[in-house]
Amino acid sequence: MATRTPPRFVPTLTEVVQSGAAPLAPALGTLPALTQDQLAQRVLQRVELTLDTRLRETIAAVILEHTSALTPLLRERVESIVREVVAEALADELQARQRAAGANV
């Protein structure tokens, strides 16, 4: 198995952390002691809420940008399709009238 040297600016673990539910020392004596698992869970909940909101905002902005960019192309294609359909319908109607006029002669 080949060992890879990490890139220069990748943080590396310099301290061995024991896993388990050891309580963390309260900051400034005002916070209740939390286990590592409890702290991790609380942090993940906050990250999830913030991340969800920011992702929604970012996705909405990207969709708006792309929609704005697509509008002229969509308008051009819709106009083209409408012209084709109207031309075909008009040609069909003219042929039907010519056949009807030829049958009346």
Residue with token string 């002691």: 33
Q: What is the reported pTM? A: 0.41
pLDDT tens readout for residues 13-61: 666 666 665 555 555 455 578 889 889 999 999 999 899 999 999 999 9
Please name the helix (run of DSSP H) or strand (run of DSSP E) that holds residue 2, with its range, or none: none
Is-contact 24 33, C-beta < 8 A? yes
Hey, where are the domains in the chain? 43-104
pLDDT of residue 54: 94
What number of residues does the chain have? 105
Q: In b/e form, how buried is each residue of 36-75, taking b as 16+ CB within 10 angstroms?
A: eeeeeeeeeeeeeeeeeeeeeeeeeeeeeeeeeeeeeeee
| Amino acid at residue number 84 | E
pLDDT at 104: 73
Tell me which residue has tokens 């060992």: 3
Look over the chain and give the mean of its residue pLDDT values, rounded to a whole number: 83
| Segment holding 48, helix H or strand E | helix 36-104
For residues 32 and 17, is the Cβ–Cβ distance under 8 A?
Answer: no
